[in-house]
């Protein structure tokens, strides 16, 4: 749903210009320094990009899913590290509060998230709980002392995007150790700097330099009871699943954006590059790679827009979100591979951006649910719907 086409066009133009004029020229610097230049982060804040999904009453743009997907596609046309900082905060990091937070929690955190004063992070995965998220072992045990009701949190979260930058973490922890399943899990807002919370070293990874992940370690970390999202125990896994469901459409939109950029670069290269006395874009075997990429990209874009509109209309989109994430992330991997092939030897050199994108996009098939998890969600829903 696009609420106001004129405002939306203006926003997309602004983001598109920012990507072209500020982010694309800074891609190499991010790669070299493993850091998004602070001046660019400041500009992102001033543009309101950290408030894309925050409700208007808390200072955000309150974008619909369709609008968010369009903005993320634009932001995808550059190094995905830029999107990682913004997207994790406006996406999985903050949406638990938007969906299920109490009015007090929303009033306290959402305005600061909207301005980017606070960056949000999502702490679900653990060393032994990845795809099987409900088996998480981090505990949050309720108690009372002279300072009131609180939870004592112990455990380690792994691969946590934005951990070093985060001002708050949406934490999933087990409040009922006797319940080893999803029903024993609750969600919390934990502020960075809370005694007992520490951040591990920044992990070295395959791509997306400048987007940082690290362990988040809780050692007898005392979290006030008021930080329990929604004020109800046992709801945390559902909050996480709702957040991830929306996140999967967001990531699929990102895959579309990045694939568009890679295909544009590959097409430009194919037209410029001369072999056997002509532009290689004139050779049918190269044309096949361009055409297959364009076709799959079109399909992914249509899927994302359809799922986003369905969600905006209040529809149940668990299956569609997983279909989008599965298809778009796999498509993006294929487009990256073909783009390297079109660039030939140049595609293997760091000098050309395609080498960087090839590494950057590999994570799309892994995070926010692997391709195999998406297949499981889709098939399970099919069986459930058939039985009903
Ligand atoms: N929206 C709302 N509730 C949902 C939901 C959704 N999209 N998906 C599941 N739930 C609810 C279920 O309805 C169920 O509630 P009830 O017990 O009241 O029926 C509860 O959550 C548990 O669901 P389920 O039984 O399906 O849980 P499983 O342990 O079988 O796990 C998968 C389901 C595998 C789909 C889940 O663990 C998953 O998504 N894993 C991947 C995690 C992931 O994406 N990690 C990336 C980390 S973030 S980068």
- Within 8 A by CB and 6+ apart from 309, the residues are 1, 65, 66
Q: How far, in Å, from the CA of 243 to the mean position of ligand 1?
A: 10
Q: How far, in Å, from the CA of 202 to the mean position of ligand 1?
A: 28
Which residues are known catalytic residues? 368
Confidence (pLDDT) at 145: 87
Tokens of 287: 């044309």
Residues 250 and 372 in one domain: yes
* Total count of domains within the chain: 3
Which residue owns the Cα nearest ligand 1 atom 35?
Answer: 377
Residues 249 and 378 in one domain: yes
Q: How far, in Å, from the CA of 151 to the mean position of ligand 1?
A: 24
279 vs 184: CA distance, rounded Å: 61
C-beta separation of 236 from 187 below 8 A: yes
Which residue owns the Cα nearest ligand 1 atom 40?
Answer: 131
DSSP notation for 154-222: EEEEEEEETTTT-SEEEEEEES-TT--SGGGEEEEEEETT-TTEEE-PPPP-SS-TTS-EEEEEEEEEE
Assign residue 137 the CATH number of its domain. 2.40.110.10
65 vs 81: CA distance, rounded Å: 21
Residues 286 and 242 in one domain: yes
Mutate to test the pocket of ligand 1, among 238, 324, 378, 384 (most ligand atoms within 8 A of CB): 238
Residues 50 and 25 in one domain: yes
- Within 8 A by CB and 6+ apart from 21, the residues are none
Q: What residue ranges line ligand 1, CB within 6 angstroms?
A: 122, 124-125, 131-134, 182, 237-238, 241-242, 244-245, 318, 367-369, 373, 376-377
Backbone angles phi, psi at 354, to 5 degrees: -65, -30
Cβ–Cβ contacts within 10 Å for residue 14, how many? 15
Confidence (pLDDT) at 132: 97
Residues 259 and 350 in one domain: yes
283 vs 281: CA distance, rounded Å: 6
Write down the pTM of the prediction. 0.97
Q: Which atom of ligand 1 is nearest to the CA of 183?
A: 17
Which residue owns the Cα nearest ligand 1 atom 21?
Answer: 238
214 vs 163: CA distance, rounded Å: 6
Q: Which domain holds residue 208?
A: 120-234
Q: How far, in Å, from the CA of 182 to the mean position of ligand 1?
A: 8
330 vs 251: CA distance, rounded Å: 12
Residues 242 and 224 in one domain: no
Q: Which atom of ligand 1 is nearest to the CA of 130?
A: 45
**What is the SS3 assignment for 330?**
helix
Residues 245 and 350 in one domain: yes
Residues 250 and 376 in one domain: yes
Residues 268 and 211 in one domain: no
Per-residue pLDDT of the chain (388 residues; tens, 9 = 90+): 999 999 999 999 999 999 999 999 999 999 999 999 999 999 999 999 999 999 999 999 999 999 999 999 999 999 999 999 999 999 999 999 999 999 999 999 999 999 999 999 999 999 999 999 999 999 999 999 888 899 999 999 999 999 999 999 999 999 999 999 999 999 999 999 999 999 999 999 999 999 999 999 999 999 999 999 999 999 999 999 999 999 999 999 999 999 999 999 999 999 999 999 999 999 999 999 999 999 999 999 999 999 999 999 999 999 999 999 999 999 999 999 999 999 999 999 999 999 999 999 999 999 999 999 999 999 999 999 999 9
Residues 168 and 286 in one domain: no
């Amino acid at each position: 749903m696009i609420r106001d086409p004129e405002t939306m066009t203006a926003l997309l133009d602004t983001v598109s210009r920012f990507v072209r004029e500020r982010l694309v020229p800074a891609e190499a610097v991010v790669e070299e320094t493993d850091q998004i230049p602070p001046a660019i982060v400041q500009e992102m804040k001033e543009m309101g990009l950290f408030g894309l999904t925050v409700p208007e009453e808390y200072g955000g743009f309150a974008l619909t899913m369709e609008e968010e997907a369009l903005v993320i596609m634009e932001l995808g046309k550059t190094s995905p590290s830029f999107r990682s900082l913004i997207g994790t905060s406006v996406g999985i990091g903050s949406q638990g509060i938007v969906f299920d937070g109490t009015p007090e929690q929303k009033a306290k955190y959402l305005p600061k998230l909207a301005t980017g004063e606070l960056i949000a992070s999502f702490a679900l995965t653990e060393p032994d709980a990845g795809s099987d998220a409900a088996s998480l072992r981090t505990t949050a045990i309720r108690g009372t002392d002279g300072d009131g009701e609180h939870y004592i949190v112990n455990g380690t979260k792994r691969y946590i995007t934005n951990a070093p930058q985060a001002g708050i973490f949406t934490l999933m922890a087990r409040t009922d150790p006797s319940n080893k399943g999803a029903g024993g899990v609750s969600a919390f807002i934990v502020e960075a700097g809370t005694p007992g919370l520490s951040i591990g070293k920044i992990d070295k990874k395959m791509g997306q330099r400048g987007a940082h992940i690290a362990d988040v370690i809780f050692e007898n970390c005392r979290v006030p009871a008021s930080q329990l999202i929604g004020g109800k125990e046992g709801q945390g896994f559902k909050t996480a699943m709702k957040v991830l469901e929306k996140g999967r459409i967001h990531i699929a939109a990102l895959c579309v954006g990045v694939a568009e950029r890679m295909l544009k670069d590959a097409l430009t290269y194919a037209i410029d590059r001369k072999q056997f006395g002509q532009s290689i874009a004139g050779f049918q075997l190269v044309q096949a790679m361009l055409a297959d990429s364009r076709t799959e990209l079109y399909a992914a874009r249509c899927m994302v827009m359809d799922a986003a509109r369905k969600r905006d209309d209040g529809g149940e989109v668990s299956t569609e979100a997983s279909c989008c994430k599965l298809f778009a992330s796999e498509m993006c991997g294929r487009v990256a591979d073909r783009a390297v092939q079109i660039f030939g030897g140049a595609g293997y050199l760091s000098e050309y951006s395609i080498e960087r994108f090839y590494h950057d996009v590999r994570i799309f098939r892994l995070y926010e649910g692997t391709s195999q998890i998406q297949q499981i969600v889709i098939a399970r829903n099919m069986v459930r719907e058939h039985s009903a």
